[in-house]
Amino acid sequence: MKKTVSIKKNYEFTRLFKKGNFYVGKYMVIYVLNNRKKVDRLGISMGSKFGNSVRRNRMKRLIRENYRLNEDNLKDGKDIIISARLTENLPEFSELKKEMKYLLKKLDLFDQEK
């Protein structure tokens, strides 16, 4: 199991939003940029319009757990931001899992050797 570091600084989020490659799904947008290091860094972004704190934190937990399940199969040295999209209802865990796997494959983040 790899250790993923959190992205916390505003300028790091801004750099990824401006310069990173991205792919859009129904429930989330994933931004990716090389970081020239051996560790992956993950940031989760969510606007206040998404809902109250209970709803936002639930979505963050679902995203974080789905990422944790996939992180052993990902390439090293990437900055990744997962931004949740506003939806009427919270998606199920399985729906998020399927979409995250699809988006990570589209962004060519899966390591074929692992």
Residue 74 and residue 43: Cα distance in Å, rounded? 15
Residue 40 and residue 60: Cα distance in Å, rounded? 18
Residues linked to residue 84 through DSSP beta bridges, in sequence order: 28
Residue 86: domain span: 5-106
Residue 60 above 60 pLDDT?
yes
Q: Is residue 112 part of a domain?
A: no
pLDDT score, position 88: 85
DSSP state of 110: B
Question: Mean pLDDT score of the chain, rounded to an integer?
Answer: 90
Q: Is residue 68 part of a domain?
A: yes
* pTM score of the predicted model: 0.89
Domain count, the chain: 1
Q: Is residue 113 part of a domain?
A: no
What is the DSSP secondary-structure string of 45-80?
E--GGG-SHHHHHHHHHHHHHHHHHHGGGBPSSEEE
Specify the CATH number for the domain of residue 35.
3.30.230.10
pLDDT score, position 112: 67
Question: Tens of pLDDT along 17-38?
Answer: 999 999 999 999 999 999 888 8
Question: Tens of pLDDT along 61-77?
Answer: 999 999 999 988 888 88
Quote the percentage of the chain above a pLDDT of 70.
96
